[in-house]
């Protein structure tokens, strides 16, 4: 088995712990558990996770001991190595059926942490006799929904009584809102494995403005790296205008979140929408709050946006789909993993160029005057009707009654739509 771990050990020898973890990840479900624990131990030691290193050593010596596997798996979850916890908890569950409920809970937690929602659903259903309504049957419905299994989600949610414990009341409401949004989206969208816009609205309530036409077979409407353009910024604001029209909602002012890029985009939004630009106040009602990338803001700023003021709309141009923030926007122009603003330093053959140092008003003018009418033709991989203006308007009209109806709730999952990341 030593050859399987060659890359892991090579990275360890050079002190590159993140690369060693990445090399270990795809091996976790196939190698013997004793060998897996043996490889985790030096990784844990290298970063000072002494409790995990000790548990890994014990599990490596006796990989048939369910208690040692449980302790090892539990600490893997605690220290961000949930992928290694999955096989450990599965084997512990097989070896110790008398402790199945406790072990199953941690196995599902590990699968959720890895965003393996379909597997979490299958494990829960396989042990359904152990499940109480809360949280057991709720977790079946929730994980089924995040995996794209609407039939199971609807079936389990319909049979789910309101929780006796108020701790779960919020989760119950979130599940109901998700399913209501799915019903609205399904009137005009397939909600299949390629329907990014439909699923984004279902899971978060975010209306996605544009779909990437590049590498659709592996990205399914998301961008990996995107060097942004003024045309894309203009197109996003035009799509926002169409959505507001479909919803019959018009903010009375625009505010920028506290960032240079936010300010540039807000200046353009105010002119395009014909609204007054006012200082940022998260509690001001009837305001369009504009962010270029919400993930650029700290937790305090994001948390202040969770409970919207009446009539408030949160707009984000570029959503970082691999690292969703505390609060999702009401409207997002596009999803990308990483990239740069049109006025930021652009990646070229000689590296990153200089950022545009002009005044924000001059840069905003470039957005206003850009031609956002013609979409990027892409590489021909996306369906020809995936992102037409007509398709967007039809979707916006269909979901309008449930758009802007908070509360906002972040979902730590890519949902049923899978995209390559790096």
Dump pLDDT digits (tens) for 233-286: 999 999 999 999 999 999 999 999 999 999 999 999 999 999 999 999 999 999
pLDDT at 90 over 80: yes
Interacting residues of 76 by C-beta distance below 8 A, sequence separation 6+: 40, 52, 82, 83, 84, 85, 88, 110
pLDDT of residue 400: 98
Q: What is the mean pLDDT of residues 293-308?
A: 91
Domain count of the chain? 2
Structural domain ending residue among the three candidates 83, 104, 137: 137
Domain check: are 250 and 345 in the same one?
Answer: yes
Please check whether residue 168 lies inside any domain of the structure.
Answer: no
* Structural domain contains residue 416: no
Do 133 and 199 lie in one domain? The reply is no
| Mean pLDDT across 184-202 | 97
Question: Does 188 lie in the same domain as 131?
Answer: no
Tell me the pLDDT band of 407, cut-offs 50, 70 and 90.
confident
Residue count (the chain) = 422
Cα separations (Å) of 47 from 42, 59, 394?
A: 9, 19, 52
Decide if 174 is inside a domain: no
Q: Is residue 408 part of a domain?
A: no
- The structure's pTM equals 0.94
> Tokens for 332?
């997002």
Same domain, 110 and 202: no
Three-state secondary-structure class, residue 223: strand
Question: Mean pLDDT in the chain?
Answer: 94
Domain match, 14 and 129 both? yes
* 340 and 205 both lie in a single domain: yes
Looking at the fold, whether 118 and 191 belong to one and the same domain comes out as no
Counting Cβ atoms within 10 Å, is residue 371 exposed (0-12), middle (13-18) or buried (19+)?
Answer: exposed
Residue 277 belongs to what domain range?
182-402
Residue 334 belongs to a domain with what CATH number? Answer: 3.40.50
Nearest to 289 by CA among 246, 250, 256, 334: 256
State yes or no: pLDDT of 312 exceeds 80.
yes
Residues 6 or more apart from 399 whose CB is under 8 A from it? 181, 184, 185, 201, 207
Clarify whether residues 214 and 128 are in a common domain: no
Which of 9-13, 161-165, 346-350 has the highest mean predicted lDDT (pLDDT)?
Answer: 9-13
Say which residues have a Cβ less than 8 Å from residue 159's Cβ, sequence separation at least 6: 137
Query: Shortest CA distance to 239 belongs to which of 336, 315, 152?
Result: 315
Do 132 and 220 fall into the same domain? no
């Amino acid at each position: 088995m030593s050859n399987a771990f060659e890359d892991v050990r090579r990275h360890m020898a050079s002190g590159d712990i993140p690369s060693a973890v990445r090399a270990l990840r795809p091996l976790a479900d196939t190698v013997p558990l004793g060998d897996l624990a043996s490889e985790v131990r030096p990784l844990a030691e290298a970063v000072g996770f002494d409790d995990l290193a000790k548990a890994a050593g014990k599990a490596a010596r006796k990989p048939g001991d369910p208690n040692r596997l449980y302790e090892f798996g539990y600490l893997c979850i605690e220290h961000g190595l949930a992928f290694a916890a999955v096989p450990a908890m599965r084997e512990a569950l097989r070896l110790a059926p008398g402790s199945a409920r406790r072990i199953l809970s941690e196995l599902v937690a590990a699968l959720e942490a890895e965003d393996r929602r379909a597997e979490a659903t299958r494990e829960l259903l396989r042990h359904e006799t152990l499940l109480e309504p809360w949280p057991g049957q709720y977790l079946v419905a929730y994980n089924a929904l995040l995996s794209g299994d609407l039939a199971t989600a609807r079936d389990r949610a319909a049979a789910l009584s309101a929780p006796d414990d108020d701790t779960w009341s919020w989760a119950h409401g979130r599940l109901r809102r998700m399913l209501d949004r799915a019903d609205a989206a399904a009137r005009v969208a397939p909600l299949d494995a390629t329907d990014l816009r439909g699923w984004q609205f279902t899971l978060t309530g975010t209306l996605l403005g544009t779909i990437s036409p590049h590498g659709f077979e592996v990205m399914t409407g998301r961008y990996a790296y995107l060097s942004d353009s003024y045309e894309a910024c203009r197109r996003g604001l035009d799509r926002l205008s169409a959505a507001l029209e479909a919803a019959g909602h018009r903010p009375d002012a625009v505010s920028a979140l506290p960032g240079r890029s936010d300010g540039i985009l807000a200046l353009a939004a105010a002119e395009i929408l014909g609204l007054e630009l006012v200082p940022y106040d998260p509690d001001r009602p009837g305001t369009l709050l504009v962010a270029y990338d919400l993930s650029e803001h700290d937790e305090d700023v994001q948390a202040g946006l969770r409970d919207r003021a009446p009539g408030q709309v949160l707009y984000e141009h570029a959503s970082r789909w691999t690292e969703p923030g505390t609060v999702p926007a009401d409207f997002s122009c596009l999803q990308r993993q990483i990239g740069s603003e049109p006025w930021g330093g652009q990646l070229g053959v000689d590296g990153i160029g200089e950022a545009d140092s002009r005044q924000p008003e001059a840069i905003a003018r470039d957005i206003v005057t850009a031609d956002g009418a013609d979409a990027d033709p892409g590489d021909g991989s996306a369906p020809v009707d995936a992102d037409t203006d007509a398709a967007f308007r039809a979707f916006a009209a269909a979901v309008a009654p449930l758009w802007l109806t908070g509360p906002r709730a972040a979902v730590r999952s890519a949902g049923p739509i899978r995209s390559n990341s790096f």
